[in-house]
Structure 1
Amino acid sequence: METSRTTSKEMELWNLFRNGDKTAYAYFIHTYSNSLFNYGYRIYTDHDFVKDCVQEVFIELWNRRNSINGTNSIKWYLFKSVRLRIFREAPKWNKNLPLEEDYQFAVEFNIEHQLIVDLETQELSSRIKSVLNRLPGRQREIMYLRFYENLNFDEISTIMQISKQSVHNLLQKAYHNFRKDWSYLLAIYFLPIQQ
Structure 2
Amino acid sequence: MNVVRTNEGDYKVWIDLKNGNREALEYIINQYYSDLYFYGVKLSKKPEISEDCIQEVLITLWEKRNSLNTVYNLKSYLFKSLKRRIIRVLSAQKKEEAQQENLRGVSAEFSFSTEDKMIGQQETLENQQKLITALSKLSNRQKEIVYLKYYQGLNYDEIAEVMLLKRQSVHNLLQEAVKSLRKNFFCLGYQFSIEKIR
TM-score (norm. length: structure 1): 0.80
Q: Report Cα offsets for 1:3-45 as digits up to 9, x if no partner.
A: xx62644443332111101122112112212211210111111
Rounded Cα–Cα distance in structure 1 between residues aligned with 2:17 and 2:85: 21
Task: Kindly state the Cα deviation for residue 161 of structure 1 after the two structures are TM-superposed.
Answer: 0.6
In 2, the alpha carbon distance for the partners of 1:125 and 1:47 equals 25
Deviations along 1:52-86, one digit per CA (max 9) or x if unpaired, are 11111001100111122333311111001101111
1:111 maps onto 2:118 in alignment: yes
- Mapped to 1, the partners of 2:131 and 2:47 lie a distance apart of 28
Structure 1 counterpart of 2:145, one-letter code: I
- Is the deviation greater in 5-14 or in 54-63? 5-14
Query: Does the C-alpha gap of structure 1 residues 171 and 9 become closer, same or farther in structure 2, counting only changes over 3 Å?
Result: closer
Q: Which of 130, 152, 156 pairs up with 1:153? A: 156
Residue in 2 that maps onto 1:48: 48
Cα 1:99/1:32, change in 2 over 3 Å: farther
Q: Distance in 2 between matches of 1:165 and 1:71?
A: 22
Provide the C-alpha distance between the structure 1 equivalents of 2:84 and 2:62, rounded to a whole number of angstroms: 17
Matched, 1:170 2:173: yes
Q: Which residue of structure 2 aligns with residue 193 of structure 1?
A: none
Distance 1:122 1:169, change over 3 A: same
Aligned length: 181
CA distance in 1, matches of 2:42, 2:105: 14
- Structure 2 unaligned spans of 5+: 194-198
Does 173-182 or 93-102 show the bigger shift?
93-102
Higher relative contact order (CA 8 A, sep 6+): 1
Amino acid corresponding to residue 39 of structure 2 in structure 1: Y
Q: Secondary structure at 1:83's aligned position in 2?
A: helix
TM-score (norm 2): 0.79
Q: Letter of the aligned partner of 2:47 in structure 1?
A: H
Distance (whole Å) between structure 2 residues aligned to residue 102 and residue 71 of structure 1: 26
Runs of 4+ displaced beyond 3 Å:
7-11, 97-103, 112-115, 184-187
Q: Distance in 2 between matches of 1:52 and 1:26?
A: 17
- The letter for the 1-side match of 2:142 is Q
Distance 2:30 2:10 in 1: 13
Q: Is the 8 A contact 1:53 1:85 kept in 2?
A: yes
Distance 1:139 1:15 in 2: 34
Whole-Å Cα distance in 1 between the matches of residues 59 and 74 of structure 2?
16
Question: 1: distance between equivalents of 2:12 and 2:51?
Answer: 27
Q: Is residue 90–residue 99 contact of structure 1 (8 Å, CA) maintained in 2? A: no
User: Which sections of structure 1, spanning at least 5 residues, go unmatched?
Assistant: 191-195
Amino acid in the other structure paired with 1:157: A
Q: How does 1:23-62 map to 2 (within 5 A)?
A: 23-62=23-62
Root-mean-square deviation (Å):
2.4
